[in-house]
Structure 1
């Protein structure tokens, strides 16, 4: 597993030709989410898997939302970054089903305040599982967070349940450049070991 984690890097130079068939990418994404752990085995993570034009449609929604917020002189840089995401083969949109969270809060009132936090843990596990699985298959990706700017537009466009809360987006595709080297902070300020 550690070897797989070492392959995972933020890839911003994406292309639309995958090193594996689209159907295999879809299968890997689904299985990675299925196998990701969740608190109380809640299985609260949901995903919208978009390929081709549907993925580009999502990134157009993001561009439209940001055009209204980013100052005009800065927008070309924003537009270029979004174009890099749209150039990929697809995008995974990660959601957490709030109806699952609310049901657990009712069923286990002693832990009610923790279930929203644990839901965030679940989505993080699912995101890492998918990203690492795709990296192991030679697929590049990067994790993005344009929610809640596009939440309503996404829900309407793909007729999603109202209980699905958008948490992150993972554009993916072929690796069109070497990812940048990952830098790490000093271990002395990060880890404590006793015993």
Structure 2
């Protein structure tokens, strides 16, 4: 009887220990799983935060690079400042040494003004835009045609008229001198006009 009682107590004790052990192991496993989940959540949150910081840093660097590029372009962009000129006054000062036009030195006077005309024309063409260059070139061609007409007209006024072929009649040295005088006068006027245009460009 005592043996049966002892056996029952032993079995009950072992069963209790087994149940306790089961719940202890189960509780440990549940606790361990919970801890791992928490660690995973923390790790995931840290990675997300790191990713956000990297994205923000990348965007900040791109913005800084854009600002730096814009700043560099502004600083390195050539600032074109045209110095104010007084080309017309300088021209007239240079040409004051050229003698007055007469029969003797007409060629010398024309050459002097023609050189100045070519000089200021080239200066203008070096600074004008493409459309302005085209306009000036066309103006110059039109002016050359007008000058030829004026020279011919001046010569005709000194002649006895024209023959049936349109040739001047009785045109001696007076016709030549009148034609050269018109040539010089118009070249002088055009040179001064271009000098003023150049000064206007540099205001």
Indicate the TM-score class for this superposition, using the shorter chain for normalisation.
under 0.3
TM-score by length of 2: 0.24
Q: Which has the larger radius of gyration?
A: 2
Higher strand fraction (1 or 2)? 1
